[in-house]
Structure 1
């Protein structure tokens, strides 16, 4: 019974020993990795030895990590843009009452903070730049009138975040 090239003659217990560490991964991840050189007997031995399957979800696929980071960064940018627009509308007088402005800012704040928390918890990539962008927006909330140059400042922090995010994504 052949298990893998160079391991001909290994028995059922050897197949289980070789393949058991792979049990932490879902079958849909592991089985495609076992190319045609691995015998069906080896996989079959593992299946019978480990009934029922106790696969744990563990994604180590760099593509999935890249896409998750990209989605997190895009969601954060969308949230910060929306939160900053609340101040723009407030300064233009687009809200009929202060209560309406506060409600819009609170909702946007919650969305931004949720997206920021994912970046902050990880502590890698553009976390410092994300923190600066959030601080700029929170400063905007404290101002009753639009501070001169605030949009250039906001756009500068946003651009720094985008550059740092692109750099981090490029490392995937």
Structure 2
């Protein structure tokens, strides 16, 4: 149970693809718990291992207090609906700024649980948005890259101004 430092945009580690997890052990369980504790402290509803500087394909989501947190190891999108939705997104690595991003309304993902068992999950709405957002991060694509250049530059300027205090 450790709250780890979150790396901040524009740290270049956020632009690096994460490596697949190959060892399913107590170290992985500890990483997942640290991610959950760090995400709750941020606060946020989703976090990846790269957000804390660990270049592994691990995601933790906790969309609300009624749902138990879920850990996804090596997640991949295997299907996405043609229907799109707009959803306001942000990042624990860039607190205080957000904007609407267009995403697929529904997705199916394949992933492994903490024991290495392969699972699939279909989701829609907020959970589908979170899957796409966090898997993008694992692939080295920060959410800002989904915005127009003008919106991206405006948000970066706002974040830099906020960071200076």
Q: TM-score, normalised by structure 2?
A: 0.26
Structure holding more strand per residue: 2
| More contact order relative to length (CA 8 Å, sep ≥ 6) | 2
